[in-house]
Amino acid sequence: MIGNPFLFRAADARRGSLSETRRFVNLFGVPALALIKNKVQSIWNIPIILMSAPGAGKSSLMRIFSTKSTKYIYETAPSGGNQKELADWMEELGVFKDGKPYALGIWIRMSDEYHFQEQGNGHHQNGLFCSLLNSRILLSAIIGICDWKELNMDQDLSRISLSLKPQASTITVTAWSLWGAENGKKLYDKMANLEAKLCDMIDDPFWEGNSPELSHPGLWSLDLLANIEVMVDNKPFKFRPLVMLDDVHELTEKQSKFILSLSLSRQVGTPFWISLRKHALGLESLLTKQLDKGVTAGRDYDDIDIDQNQRARAHFNKLALEISKLRVNDVASQIGTLSHAFIDFISNNNSDTIFLNNLNEKVVEEIKERIKKAAGSDFGKFRELIEEVENSQEEAHEKCRRLRNLEVFIRREVTKSQRYFDFHKFDIRDLQKYSSKKKYGNAEELFLAIEYNLPYYFGASRLFTLSSHNILQFLRLAGGLFEEIMVAMSLGKDSESFLSPERQHAIISKIAKNFLDEIPRSVRYGNEVFRMVQAVGYMCRHETYRPTAPYDPGVTGIAITMYDLDILEKKAKSGDEDFLALYRVIESAVAHNIFHPTTNYKCKGKNFLVLYMNRLLCVPFKLPLQKGGFREQKLSALIKWLKSGYSKGKNDTGQMDLW
């Protein structure tokens, strides 16, 4: 059986394994580096903060700059292909110089291992945290130098000579006098012993948090890397340091604030990147992109909002295509001569083909009968228009599409408060005028799919849309589809029948339902967020399937005025329980990519915060995937939804079942 390459999370592979580093680089999607290229003027001069919801690719974007990754890229670039393209990008970004690795990428992942700070006392809390980080930063630097120069860690460390430049800060000079050494062997031993002592101390159940002799005054290792001369075999070793702290959100609140404050302090002389999930930031920071008072993005620091950047459709689609190609290539030997382009395994039938095979003259007659009932006593006004629409198309499926659109038009006209005179006869120009005003198009396609149980969520284009600009979400969907493809391969099926639209729709629907059901466990304030998502989903479904389709092709979001947002923030900060609960839900949903925010959206003379549902969450509620349709909600209504869910209107008799 072929292993599913889409289930491999590249950035989570073991860091010490050369084979896993190779696999990580081989699977890395080069288009992701465009996010760094946009900040090429900042990445070496001011701290960089990478932020996103889970699964957007922060760790991969850091790991590709680690010394093991850049060394492997350098070694394999002559073979061409993906590695050659990566090497060219590294040169352009300043990671390589004259075709060779130049940036010493130190990638350290944060975890709950560092939570021992809470045991410490007073100023020693940050001091011990800094000690452990300093030791690991310098150990990683020495290991990186050995990797580049192919030195044996057990025998060759003494070949590395170290000396401090005169321009180092006073704190660094003092720390170096205590912890520094003139060669790699001695420095490595000192830092390894320091790390071991700290780890033993942390594991000691009787430790009371007092160890001032091990406490460091700050992250002096950052300044040291910018002000140290390195010689290997008495020859200068030139490098550009790059320190990357990944998953800062995994630290305690005090620790993450310390690291974030350091990033914004204008006191870091070494290229310094941190990554964190958005839930570590407040809603105000997420919406305004203002991380602290008195600091300015682009001047004091720069941020890379991966979610926001990947919402450029062309960029995400290109990245997803590249990643899927690399993943399929990973099992190339097992699929033989079959195409290695993932989308070639997905049926490219469009809705026209689905309708052609399923919508016949019987359906035409059913829709005509509904139109007659909808028109009621006004049928005579529409008779000629109905005949004109019916006679304009020869194929039954096209008649169905046009007639379903006409049905919506007629329902709108007969429910208008201002009616035409009885002698008015509607013609094709009236229908064309209505159709031309539809901003996003085609509710009739969704309506027909639902009414006649036809697949809707299938094909490469909708697969990319359903990923909601999140690589992990794309891998999850692609993995579910590829699982079926692997079964088809093992049974020797023809590639044309690997994955029909019906099977794609069924698989995607199941994944989407699981995604929804996981919210209580995977998201902060998960039960409350789940309740809100259900309420919003039911509301969107109710509005989307109104007979007159007023928000063609449908509603997929809510909005509150910016004025109401200000009220919500103030009341939440004052401790009002209802408003605080709602504020937390919106904050968590935005941070976890459940809702996609658009601030200051102008509509009908008001400015709104629009919250669109994650596209994958549209599936359980049978919603369209286009953005555009939303409904304004009052804070009181949202608070009510949070407490007791969405209540259907008195005229809504539609079923609220989920796929």
Domain boundary among 287, 309, 331: 309
**Confidence at residue 651, expressed as pLDDT on a 0 to 100 scale:** 42
The answer to whether residue 233 is domain-embedded is no
The parent domain of residue 526 ranges over 518-644
13 and 118 part of one domain: yes
The answer to whether residue 321 is domain-embedded is no
Q: How far is residue 538's CA from residue 215's CA, in Å, rounded to a whole number?
A: 55
Name the band, by pLDDT with cuts 50, 70 and 90, for residue 653.
very low
The answer to whether residue 58 is domain-embedded is yes
CB burial of 438-457 (b: ≥16 within 10 Å; e: otherwise) equals eeeebbbbbbbbeeeebbbb
| 3-class DSSP assignment, residue 274 | strand
How many domains does the chain contain in total?
3
Q: Which of 124-128, 217-221, 448-452 has the highest mean pLDDT?
A: 448-452
Q: How far is residue 511's CA from residue 477's CA, in Å, rounded to a whole number?
A: 7
Domain boundary among 309, 338, 367: 309
Alpha-carbon distances, residue 303 vs 254, 260, 306 (angstroms): 21, 12, 9
**Confidence at residue 348, expressed as pLDDT on a 0 to 100 scale:** 64
The answer to whether residue 89 is domain-embedded is yes
32 and 141 part of one domain: yes
151 and 277 part of one domain: yes
358 and 291 part of one domain: no
At 542-585, the pLDDT tens digits run 999 999 888 888 999 999 999 999 999 999 999 999 999 999 99
Q: Which of 313-322, 387-396, 596-605 has the highest mean pLDDT?
A: 596-605
The answer to whether residue 39 is domain-embedded is yes
User: What phi, psi does 644 have (nearest 5°)?
Assistant: -135, 5
Q: Give percent of the chain with pLDDT exceeding 90.
A: 54
At 104-132, the pLDDT tens digits run 999 999 988 887 655 555 555 678 888 89
252 and 109 part of one domain: yes
The answer to whether residue 169 is domain-embedded is no
DSSP state of 297: B
Q: How far is residue 140's CA from residue 13's CA, in Å, rounded to a whole number?
A: 17
pLDDT at 349 over 90: no
At 29-52, the pLDDT tens digits run 999 999 898 888 889 999 999 999
The answer to whether residue 314 is domain-embedded is no
60 and 144 part of one domain: yes
417 and 532 part of one domain: no
271 and 418 part of one domain: no
402 and 530 part of one domain: no
420 and 566 part of one domain: no
Alpha-carbon distances, residue 631 vs 76, 287, 423, 540 (angstroms): 53, 20, 36, 8
**Confidence at residue 658, expressed as pLDDT on a 0 to 100 scale:** 42
**Confidence at residue 377, expressed as pLDDT on a 0 to 100 scale:** 86
442 and 583 part of one domain: no
**Confidence at residue 8, expressed as pLDDT on a 0 to 100 scale:** 77
Q: How far is residue 252's CA from residue 121's CA, in Å, rounded to a whole number?
A: 15
The answer to whether residue 283 is domain-embedded is yes
Q: Around Cβ 35, how many Cβ atoms within 10 Å?
A: 19
Domain boundary among 279, 309, 339: 309
At 466-525, the pLDDT tens digits run 999 999 999 999 999 988 888 877 776 665 557 889 999 999 999 999 999 999 999 999
At 237-289, the pLDDT tens digits run 999 999 999 999 999 988 998 999 988 887 888 999 999 999 888 888 888 77
541 and 607 part of one domain: yes
Q: How far is residue 376's CA from residue 414's CA, in Å, rounded to a whole number?
A: 9
Mean pLDDT value across the chain: 87
